Copies of this chain bind each other. A is one copy, B any other.
Amino acid sequence: MRLATLADGSRDGRLAVVRRDGAAFADAGTIAPCLQAAIDRWDEAEPRLRALAEALDAGRAEATPLDLDRVRAPLPRAYEWIDGSAYLNHVRLVRRARQAEPPPTLTTDPLVYQGGSGVLLGPRDPLPFGARDYGLDFEGEVCVITGDVPLGVAAGEALRHVRLLCLANDVSLRKLIPDELAKGFGFFVGKPATAFSPFAVTPDELGEAWRDGRAHLRLTVRLNGVVAGDLEAGPEMHFSFADLLAHVTRTRALAAGTILGSGTVSNQDPARGVSCLAERRAREQIEFGAARTPFLQVGDRVEIRAAGPDGRDLFGSIDQRVTA
């Protein structure tokens, strides 16, 4: 089942079930007005949403053509947005480029940060360039959206709290980050609003690609129509979503509707490319002694997508342009 949130003038948008071919939707607002409301009482809402999806695919429910320009983030505002950094190749490359050591606990203690979740961008929303050149960059990621997760959940129990998966563009302002991290309290101004894919999908939509708490999918990132990265999101995710959930619930519980990101998808093989410019610049720094690729400029276009097991554009595509 694939769900989307349609703009209707409200803060949370209106819940819709997406047809299998992605070309049409059925209004689901009578089951739950918005996605948060569905996740709040998932046990009751899920079977009804699935029945609607079946009816839609069978031509038994009213279908409306889907206009992706009307689709918002699955959760236009969320109670938590937590982002990991589970692809260690990314951490190692970026630190090596600035001649810093990765933390000694890199392989045993997950890196996560708490992001702002009150204003989340839709898949077609513009990426604001900012008041100055802050080093605007994208990061292609896979995310899970959880139900209520109790304090201290074990990794082996964590995945049953995963309700949905989606993609994110974890937007970063690279030139603001070093000074901010030097203050010691983590990211804030260096991380503007994050953007999300049009569809949030149930794990069964991934088939065998959802295993070991990882999405074994190919994530494709394009910059101005040219493939920047065509990456395997599964094998090199060192900490699985189960590991990340165990870590982030070590000292507190999570509310239903929490979004947890994988961190920038990254592969060791340079031929795979990158899902963020910082990593390409890090490779250039290591190889040539200086970065050559500029950060995003006004007018640039960023596309992020992942094909499902049957080749469909599983989450819809994030497709954003940088605006002044």
Could you tell me which A residues sit within 8 Å of B by CB distance?
11, 40, 77-80, 82, 85, 103, 105, 109, 111-119, 128, 130-131, 134, 151-152, 173, 176, 179, 181-193, 247-248, 250-258
Q: A181-B184, A185-B85, A186-B187 are in contact. Are A192 and B251 (CB under 8 A)?
A: yes
Q: Of the candidates B79, B131, B191, which one forms a contact with A78 in the assembled complex, judged by CB atoms under 8 Å apart? A: B79
Q: A176-B251, A181-B184, A251-B176 are in contact. Are A258 and B118 (CB under 8 A)?
A: yes
Q: State how many angstroms separate the Cβ of A85 from the closest Cβ of chain B.
A: 7
B184 touches A119 (CB 8 A): no
B186 touches A113 (CB 8 A): yes
Q: How far is the CA of A77 from the CA of B257 in the complex (A)?
A: 11
B80 touches A118 (CB 8 A): yes
Q: Given A103-B182, A118-B257, A119-B255, list of 18 further CB < 8 A pairs?
A: A11-B256, A77-B255, A78-B79, A79-B79, A105-B183, A109-B179, A111-B183, A114-B116, A114-B188, A116-B252, A181-B184, A186-B186, A186-B187, A189-B248, A189-B250, A189-B251, A191-B251, A192-B252
Highest count of chain B CB atoms <10 Å: which of A85, A247, A250: A250
Q: State how many angstroms separate the Cβ of A81 from the closest Cβ of chain B.
A: 9
Q: A79-B77, A80-B118 are in contact. Are A130 and B251 (CB under 8 A)?
A: yes
Q: Of the candidates B118, B183, B191, which one forms a contact with A109 in the assembled complex, judged by CB atoms under 8 Å apart? A: B183
A252 touches B119 (CB 8 A): yes
